[in-house]
A and B are shown apart, each in its own frame.
Chain A
Amino acid sequence: MEKKWIAGTPRLWRDIPVIIPFCPGCQHGTAVKALCEVIDELGMEKNSVLVVGIGCYTMASILVDVDSAMIAHGRACDIASAMKRIVGKDTMVITWQGDGDALAIGCEPTIHAAARSEKITTFMINNGNYGTTGGQLAPTTPLGQVTTTTPFGRNQDQGYPIQAAEFIGSLKGVAYTARGAFTSPANYQKTKKYMKKALEKQRDGVGYSFVEILSTCPANWHMSPLDSLKRVEEEVIPLFPLGEFKDVDKIE
């Protein structure tokens, strides 16, 4: 069958034989699009390896036209660390994770890869809950948010959300951290800039780089796509401010 190309589809977005299970209004697809564009614009298509954890975003492992591995829930930074140390500096090793994957079950690998100053890059999508499993409490769930495991809203008994970009930025081995969102074309461009910079830090061998990307989750937030976007702007961004939190060219 002849491939039909839809305008705006990135060159590295693969045509796959199965339905892409992203819900209407979810921004995981937008994030994958940004990733395809960033890898393409940096000319890293042939020497990039994508290590993808378990969540809604797992589809990225077959969507992006680079070598990729779908691996255990939470262990992307362990796997990427070992890969990078074997393939060497000329191959970009990228982890693609969710907030539960990188910060709950995967807290240990993420923090230790950052502390060891592994020359890898993590892109973590934060939608404030576990999307794939039906919307449970995540390490990033804001206070008050109703999830299926905080049916009356998250309260202090369930603790407080983790601001990953700031806290990972406090580790010495880290070259770069930032947080972006896709609430507007301007934010899309800014987030892409952060993603590019993170990969450049890896390419230049500076240290660990980390970009958190805020996403909507209309299905589990029980909101329309537009209301979800509004919520990101009005409630999520004040709690998870956008911008760069660490940016160094050398770690000494």
Chain B
Amino acid sequence: MTDRLLIQGNEAVGWGALNADCRGFFGYPITPQNEIIEWFAREFPKRGRAFLQSASETGSINMVHGGALTGVRVMTSTSSPGWALMQEGMSNLANAELPCVIVLVQRGWNTTRHAQTDYTSVTQGGGYGGYKTIVLAPKSAQELYDFVQLAFYLADKYRNPVVVLSDAILGQMMEAVELRNPDFGPLPDKDWAITGKANHKDGNRRFSSIGQGMLPTPKHPNLCAFWGDYKNKIDTIKKKEVRYETYLLDDAELVLVAFGYVARVSLEALLAARNKGLKVGLIRPITLWPFPSETIRDKAKKGATFLVVEDNMGQMIEDVGVAVQGQAEIHLVNALDRHLPIEEGAIYPEKVLEKIEALIK
């Protein structure tokens, strides 16, 4: 039997990282993710793993770059304004094809309260160059624990940064977490690691660059050669790594689309609506990029109407729009529909149900 702990979502991140054999954490204080950096400060040094508090989030992401260069698993966590500071570093990590994990505990724009206002920034790649990062959106402390491990696996598999998108509610909430050990399968050797020639089987130097295609290498003699390879990587991820959950989708006339804590809220609304005989379903994207566009499009072709529920002013709705390609009506429940019209407010199932009833009648 595996151990179970009653812990905060933020602490679940730490346990997940430990179980994934993460070797280095680099972070800077920012609400509401402070329990994460404090967890690593407490738990990592005594296990002989690296913990370092940076002087800014720009510092954190570059320390992650340094750690990733050595070929071990490293990560950072932050909240929205810190995430903004990390964008240059994210671009560099993607260009240099270095695996790492970033946990983003969103806050509401620049308040210290909860929200889902960084959807667009994480899914579009907020830095320069047009890179992409896989974005995993957990809905519970258990999934924070699970997805941090999955994130490390996917980062190593594709040599690309992976983002786990949490928020203040998931981070602060305490839930039971089962410390399970998923087996994702084998990964290639990190023969590219920058650790000194003595550590390489062939004794030859290794070179890593944030300017792939600029300084010529045999693999990428020019920029377009690198772009071609990177595009292939993006296309492979889009084809192979789309993850989502559905509830009662088959006969649904109205389909809710929601991620993170709002997916739980939406599920409650869905169950209440079903009790009233309303044919409502739910698509919950687990990967926000790559986005489950095909599943949404299939449903749109069958004549369903969509209700996007998200705790921001409407960001994921644009991806749903691209997915349905004008073939379905799309409605929105957003942060202005919170139970209180203030930053402490949240989207409640009642509000979602109200909207469902208005749309089906």
Contact = CB atoms under 8 A, between A and B. Distances in A.
A112 interface: yes
* Residue among A18, A51, A79, A91 having the largest count of chain B Cβ atoms under 10 Å: A79
B184 interface: no
A131 B336 CA distance: 51
Nearest to A108: B55
Nearest to B197: A46
Given A69-B69, A78-B59, A82-B74, A18 B64 contact: no
A86 B216 contact: no
A86 B59 contact: no
A55 B205 CA distance: 22
A61 interface: yes
Nearest to A65: B205
Contact of B92 (A17, A66, A72, A85): A72
Interface residues of A, number: 35
B194 interface: yes
B88 A72 contact: yes
15 contacts: A61-B207, A69-B208, A72-B88, A72-B92, A75-B59, A78-B58, A78-B63, A78-B66, A82-B62, A82-B74, A83-B67, A85-B50, A87-B195, A91-B195, A109-B59
A72 B359 CA distance: 51
A82 B66 contact: yes
A49 B206 CA distance: 10
A248 interface: no
Given A86-B70, A109-B55, A46 B196 contact: yes
Given A81-B63, A83-B69, A86-B70, A70 B208 contact: yes
Interface in A47-78: 47-49, 51, 58, 61-62, 65-72, 75, 78
A82 B55 CA distance: 13
A45 B66 contact: no
Contacts of A17: 216
Contacts of B54: 78, 112
A72 B88 CA distance: 8
B209 interface: yes
A80 interface: yes
B215 A70 contact: yes
Contacts of B70: 83, 86-87
Contact of A61 (B55, B63, B67, B215): B215
Nearest to B49: A86
A72 B52 contact: no
B89 interface: yes
Contacts of B56: 108
Interface string B39-79: 00000000000101011101100111111011010100000
A162 B26 CA distance: 29
A85 B52 contact: yes
B62 A48 contact: no
Contacts of A92: 196
Contacts of A109: 55, 59, 62
Nearest to B56: A108
B62 A86 contact: no
Contacts of B292: none
Contact of B195 (A67, A72, A82): A67
Given A70-B215, A78-B63, 9 more contacts: A45-B197, A47-B196, A47-B197, A49-B194, A49-B196, A67-B207, A72-B92, A82-B64, A82-B74
A79 B50 contact: no
B326 interface: no
A65 B59 CA distance: 28
B50 A86 contact: yes
Given A45-B197, A70-B215, A108-B55, A85 B62 contact: no
